[in-house]
Structure 1
């Protein structure tokens, strides 16, 4: 009887352990069934992209003119407000002109007097010439009259020059703008005695601006080799402004013909349209310079690049739909695209979605999406 009970107890324990083992086996099977992750991929194709190169630079006024006076005197009036736009020929300052008008009146009186003497000398000469021709008067007297007329001619000519100079002094007492542009604040106050060495204000032309920047000599070499335009276009934004819709457009108009021996850079300049006066001279800016859109390249979005000890790499999906790591050599990169020199080829499917949770050899569902590089 006891043996029978022991046998039943043994069988019960055996079935219990067997059931537990089956349950553990089922759990293990469940754990091994890992759900495939959906990843976005883009199939690489060698093609053309608009290639822009990034630089930093500084704006400069197209023209900057110091307003000065050509005459000395007390400043009586000014005819502008600081920051306003002025046109060439606009009156800016008025200097006391009374002494210059007095000098002009004196020069005019002298001219009138000497012109009268000139007319008299001419009349005497014309009256005397017939007498000499008829032998009624000596030729020496005729020569004397001719010499006197010549003297008066010279005096009148000098008087006219003096009058012209005196008129200029009167005109110069009104100081005018010599270029179109925007004028700064007056550097002198009304009542001051100013001289021709004093700077009264400054006018800058800002409708167009220069942008100066300094690419390396190798960058200039590549630009000259591959550029699609004789005068490459540029887009300019102030530092820390990202919205490309706000860019100011222009073109390169000057590339220096020498390399700076100290820095290894070449001075380059672009002229940009600033008709809305969005930028001021002296502003630090970011420059995007167009190189070409004619050369086919293999490229990826810079966001799809990662770094390890060997350099740059991308994740791709192979023919078995498994994740593989591909080390790449980047030839050039900006915020829009990274041109790949080696490591990728046509047909490679590069992962363009988040890669931080993906592992090599992980099996995935590859979903083809459009090119993540915007043109």
Structure 2
């Protein structure tokens, strides 16, 4: 009996040891999971800055290019290959000056065919018009002969009436004279009405023919003008820009081959990061530095379409600008988004690309602890602090790519520590 009890106790003892080991292992794992991950880093690898209270000015800086206020595109009306070039890019042109001549044999042949067809149609209409006139002339001649017959019958009637009244003319001859006059009178009346109606109809046809001829003359004039479109002319007086055509180059119809810059003034055109789309407004003021002078500018136009993460904005000059400026000159624009006011800030740094401004490492002696923060506005130099930091605290603003899963940094003063 004593032996059996001893074996049973050993069995329970082993089970207890197993349970104790599992408990210790689980507790250790839980502790390790909860324990902050610590990474040793060299202080020389870190950029540490202090949280300060500064006069925060909300502004944005971007590059703007100088462009003329007004430009006119030079569009090719009739496509073809470049046969002659008369000017060079950058030259001053007056309105109507030739820029280039194009050539397209297929279009030339098409113009010739159309011109021939229009001239033939015009000739046919003119022949029809002449035929109507000749027809009227023939009817007029016929009417003159009929009127002559009527007048002759009337004279015979009057003479026969006198003879009949004197009883010199026989009754049957008198009746014949009466019938002849009646016939000629009715004949004249019918022909006269027919001639009037025919003239009215002819007048309508002649008006229609004249209208058709006028349309054809305009078409012919337009066609001949289009033939001149192979010669590209300056649409306005100004400086030729963006003109890079070469001899033999094939250019499609309606394509722009350059532009004329009207030198009545300049504007600034800039592509700005989409982050500022809701913050930049028309009539906001800014400034640029040009030839050692500060010049005020104002936003005049915003295009909300986003391309490659940027939107287009245009600015006009408030102050007088230096003379002899070159188109395409790039200048830095400082656009004021708000007035200066005291705010808690930290300098901008590459930490933001990892944290998106949601957390930061706060330095305390040789240790840096991860802390949640909330950032507000920004300018090219600072981030505004909404919460999570106090003035005088020090933070790490350098790159966090190697620390994004770390809770705490142990900072070594040098690489030999």
Q: Which has the higher contact order (CA 8 A, sep 6+)?
A: 2
Q: TM-score, normalised by structure 2?
A: 0.43
Indicate the structure (1 or 2) with the bigger Cα radius of gyration: 2
Q: TM-score, normalised by structure 1?
A: 0.46
